[in-house]
Structure 1
Amino acid sequence: MDFNLNISQEQKLIMTPQMQLSVKILQLSSYELQKLVEKEIQENPLLEVKYGENREKSNTIDYKKMIEYLESDNYGYYGNYKSDDEEVSPFAFISEKKSLKEYLFEQLCYLNEKDSIKFIGEYIIENIDDRGYLAETLENIQNQLRMPLDLVEEALEVIQSLEPDGICARDLKECLRIQCEKRGLYDTILFGIIDNHLEDIAENKYNSIARSFNIDVKKAQSYGDFIKTLQPKPSRGFYTGEEVRYILPDAYIKKLDGEYHIIMNEELTPRLTINNLYKGIINNGEDKQAVEFVKDRLDSATFLIKSIEQRKSTIYRVLEKIILIQKDYFDHGQKYLKPMTLKEIADVLEMHESTISRAIRDKYIHTDKGTIKIRDLFTTGLTFKGAEDSLSTVEVKRKIEDLINKEDKSNPLSDQNIADTLKNNGVNISRRTVAKYREEIGIKSSKGRKRY
């Protein structure tokens, strides 16, 4: 072993910080882009927001027209006004989201229980998680409140007696048992299945359950069917404090005079411009340190504006090609979605596949069929009735689902049976691919679908 000095020549792409920012902006979702722009505006004094005339005009409200619109759209209550004596409370128009914990607090308030039980009960309610389960052990609650364990257990029983059924359970098994007890069911076999055979129900292993309790398979299956009707998440349907994040489409696809047009969503980000105040500092040139700072910030601001425009242009070009390929989908719906890959679009636009992938990542478009994710329009295909024709994976999955829906549940189709049926209908597909698509659409294997 020794040390040597060698000279080698190689080509290597080194991404500058500006190139990295450009790539990052391209792949950001609309929500992430808004956050980035807000952060840059705060950090870069040269950037300023300029709103268009439409936004300024929107601040002026024609109240007469607004009232006419509300009345015509039945938003007012004037049409239902019956008499001068009838008063309408202003509180009737207040909309409120009642959380699960608030609902439980209200029920606890009206119970005829000791103050100590209510005090512990309130603490227990505060420790219920988003699923509706108790997130703390009784021992921890006892230590925190310094109360006797028997009182804590009594308070837990009180909370578990409230609605919704199964609330404040410590695990899934207890949650299901509580729901059974509230329905007046105290079947030892039912409770035995809940305690020891939930996995068997999930895997459709009713033979194993039948042997364990010395009952026939059909009876075991009926127990499983009932357990599946119980609610594993008692909090479902209640507000748990998480706000819905609404999707902001990057573009709108509108059909005008038989042709589809792309309208980019200009409301996603404010229009950015350079503050003229700082141009004077560069022109003056007296303070060299200030000039260097302004030039650096100016380069950063200019590149950000160009990157956002480049992002918009790239998405527009990608959508143009998608509309050309998927016109039948936009006209007639999901079953007319054609096979389309990133490489196909990349070759037409003379871009790299990774660029197309970034351009459609977490991006949405609004169409007359609703808001859809751009990536959902990309799908591979399978040969159908010859090499020239192909069928999208979406349509193949639909065909698999149709076959399973129509099967004899006492003798369900195997993946090989489905593959053979599709091949007979011209779809070239293997058993392994059928299994993959079946799992993707959330359908169990033939063993898991069997009914006794």
Structure 2
Amino acid sequence: MALSAKLQLKQTQSLVMTPQLLQSIRLLQFTQAELERFVDEEVERNPLLERGESASEDVGEPVRESEAAVAREAGDDWFGNEADLSAQTISDRLDSSLENLFPDDPGRSERLDPALSTQWKSAAGGAGGGSESFDLEDLAAAPVTLRDHVGEQIAFAFTQPQERLIAAELADGLDEAGYLRTDPAEAAERLGADPASVAAVLSRCQGFDPPGLFARDLAECLSIQLRARDRLDPAMQALLAHLDLLARRDFQSLKRLCGVDEEDLLDMLAEIRGLDPRPGLAFSGGPSEAIVADVEVRPASDGGWAVELNPDALPRVLVDQSYFAIVSGRARDQAEKDFLGECLQSANWLARSLDQRARTILKVASEIVRQQDAFLAHGVRHLRPLNLRTVADAIGMHESTVSRATANKYMLTPRGVFEMRYFFTAAIAASDAGESHSSEAVRDRIRELIEAEQAAHILSDDTIVDLLGKEGIDIARRTVAKYREGMNIPSSVRRRREKRALAGLKG
């Protein structure tokens, strides 16, 4: 057969990952905070975009004419129609308009004390602001960090420059929990100081507030706090030297090593529980950020559930079509027209993408609520096994889309705020060939069984397997052990020792 070259036309369909499609995918998996930042950046970059009110508007109608456009058109003579206005004339008109845009607020100043009002006006004028308004958050003091707290105590505790230098070097070696992660010998070598001087400075630093700072391990941290309470006796020192036995709840060995009876050991354990193993964390906490639920679920009048998007977590943007019409008619060259066209296309795309994102999240959340109706009505014990494919098939979407729509999204329900991924749990087979059980419901049942056990009848993992089997849950012993360890529940041997100790303490 002869070989020859020829041309063929072939029509195929393929998915092309355009920049807009990639950005839409990113937009779907953004958290509420990330979405707000992204929208703010787009509004700042695109002159045709404006932030819209979201509290009382429905999803939809993303492209509309803004009120600001009407104001621009009515004030078209703001700069005048002359093409040869001087820069000084434009500047004068701009200053005048800004003065009219931000008038004084007499209601605010009338509520202030006259003397304080004068002081704040002077401060604002001195800073170059020229405005009588102020924000109390700007006057709030910055949070005190661990480094600042320790630095203040170093300034009062040491008078010699060499000692302050050593103390500052040691303070730089503190981690967020307040532990010293720098070797004093290495610090002495770096500073060229006597190791004995470094040890003396460290000893004084360990007396700083709160007690426990500058410790090199947990035992030293607890001993510093006990010394501050005048409770570091030989028996307590022996207990701190064998914290590994305490972690294993080996109370018999601890009583022998400490030379105390059971009652004294229980008192010592109570003192240990009252100490702070991480004293530096009191200064490392930043401002707490409240979780904003993306979806709200409420009981409906017909006995079902009403699923709605949270308007506070739904940013809205408006495309200023009128402003585009005004400025596009005054474009001087093709480059300006292309720029305005790209801005309009980008603005329309963003508005549609936000609308599609909201609809996708609402559709996924509605299907989750339908699948987990028993959980909302009766609690975690009735949580059904659910995976992404089940939801994707029910709403006609791809599994990856459902995964992105539920990532870092939260749902406000009558039973609390839950991450949407919480409702997707693995299935545990039923022993009687019935409906399978959710892994989260099985964890809750294991926790309940262990909390109800008595000191004389501690449940082993095998016993828990038998009890769950009687309830129709077919589960392996290794799975029970994995769930128990995941909930930070110790083994039956450690629980037996601890419950006996607690029973003796109550007696």
Alignment match, 2:289:
245
Q: Structure 1 residues 447, 279: CA separation in 2 closer, same or farther (over 3 Å shift)?
A: farther
The 5-angstrom pairing of residues 339-378 of structure 1 reads 339-378=385-424
* 1:175 and 2:221 matched: yes
The residue type equivalent to 1:418 in the other structure is I
CA contact (8 A) 1:360 1:375 kept: yes
Bigger mean CA offset, 405-414 vs 265-274: 405-414
The residue type equivalent to 1:254 in the other structure is R
Could you tell me how far 1:324 is from its partner in structure 2?
2.2
What percentage of residue pairs aligned between the two structures are identical?
31
CA contact (8 A) 1:107 1:162 kept: yes
The whole-number CA distance in structure 2 between the counterparts of 1:53 and 1:362 is 22
The residue type equivalent to 1:272 in the other structure is V
Alignment match, 2:438:
392
Alignment match, 1:405:
451
Secondary structure in structure 1 of the residue aligned to 2:312: coil
CA contact (8 A) 2:292 2:313 kept: yes
Alignment match, 1:19:
21
Could you tell me how far 1:203 is from its partner in structure 2?
4.6
Could you tell me how far 1:33 is from its partner in structure 2?
1.0
Bigger mean CA offset, 242-251 vs 26-35: 242-251
* 1:273 and 2:318 matched: yes
Structure showing greater Rg: 2
CA contact (8 A) 1:365 1:372 kept: yes
The residue type equivalent to 2:311 in the other structure is E
RMSD, aligned CA: 4.3
CA contact (8 A) 1:46 1:301 kept: yes
The 5-angstrom pairing of residues 42-121 of structure 1 reads 42-51=44-53, 99-100=145-146, 104=150, 114=159, 116=161, 117=163, 121=167
Q: Work out which of the residue numbers 232, 237, 252 in structure 1 matches 2:277.
A: 232
Alignment match, 1:264:
309
Q: Structure 1 residues 54, 450: CA separation in 2 closer, same or farther (over 3 Å shift)?
A: closer
The residue type equivalent to 2:316 in the other structure is R
Q: Structure 1 residues 301, 255: CA separation in 2 closer, same or farther (over 3 Å shift)?
A: same
The residue type equivalent to 2:276 in the other structure is Q
Alignment match, 1:31:
33
The whole-number CA distance in structure 1 between the counterparts of 2:264 and 2:381 is 40
Query: If the length of structure 2 is used for normalisation, what is the TM-score?
Result: 0.67
The whole-number CA distance in structure 2 between the counterparts of 1:298 and 1:221 is 75
The whole-number CA distance in structure 2 between the counterparts of 1:28 and 1:164 is 40
Could you tell me how far 1:270 is from its partner in structure 2?
3.8
Could you tell me how far 1:34 is from its partner in structure 2?
1.2
Bigger mean CA offset, 147-156 vs 301-310: 147-156
Q: Structure 1 residues 446, 10: CA separation in 2 closer, same or farther (over 3 Å shift)?
A: farther
Bigger mean CA offset, 414-423 vs 22-31: 414-423
CA contact (8 A) 2:319 2:347 kept: yes
Q: Structure 1 residues 241, 53: CA separation in 2 closer, same or farther (over 3 Å shift)?
A: closer
Secondary structure in structure 2 of the residue aligned to 1:48: strand
CA contact (8 A) 1:47 1:272 kept: yes
The residue type equivalent to 2:418 in the other structure is I
Cα offsets for 1:96-143 (capped at 9, x unmatched)? 9655556556666776x6455567556655653321123444356557
The whole-number CA distance in structure 1 between the counterparts of 2:422 and 2:338 is 47
Q: Work out which of the residue numbers 157, 162, 184 in structure 1 matches 2:203.
A: 157
The 5-angstrom pairing of residues 205-216 of structure 1 reads none
* 1:129 and 2:131 matched: no
Q: Structure 1 residues 415, 46: CA separation in 2 closer, same or farther (over 3 Å shift)?
A: same
CA contact (8 A) 2:56 2:311 kept: no
Secondary structure in structure 2 of the residue aligned to 1:371: strand
The whole-number CA distance in structure 1 between the counterparts of 2:289 and 2:308 is 23
Secondary structure in structure 2 of the residue aligned to 1:267: helix
Alignment match, 2:102:
none
The residue type equivalent to 1:156 in the other structure is L
Q: Structure 1 residues 347, 146: CA separation in 2 closer, same or farther (over 3 Å shift)?
A: same
Q: Structure 1 residues 45, 139: CA separation in 2 closer, same or farther (over 3 Å shift)?
A: farther
The residue type equivalent to 1:17 in the other structure is P
* 1:382 and 2:428 matched: yes
Secondary structure in structure 2 of the residue aligned to 1:253: strand
Q: How many residues align?
A: 413
Q: Structure 1 residues 287, 399: CA separation in 2 closer, same or farther (over 3 Å shift)?
A: same
CA contact (8 A) 2:54 2:311 kept: no
Could you tell me how far 1:361 is from its partner in structure 2?
0.5
Q: Structure 1 residues 406, 262: CA separation in 2 closer, same or farther (over 3 Å shift)?
A: closer
CA contact (8 A) 1:27 1:359 kept: yes
Could you tell me how far 1:25 is from its partner in structure 2?
1.0
Secondary structure in structure 2 of the residue aligned to 1:263: strand
Secondary structure in structure 1 of the residue aligned to 2:349: helix
The whole-number CA distance in structure 1 between the counterparts of 2:437 and 2:12 is 44
Cα offsets for 1:292-327 (capped at 9, x unmatched)? 233233322222221111111011111212222323
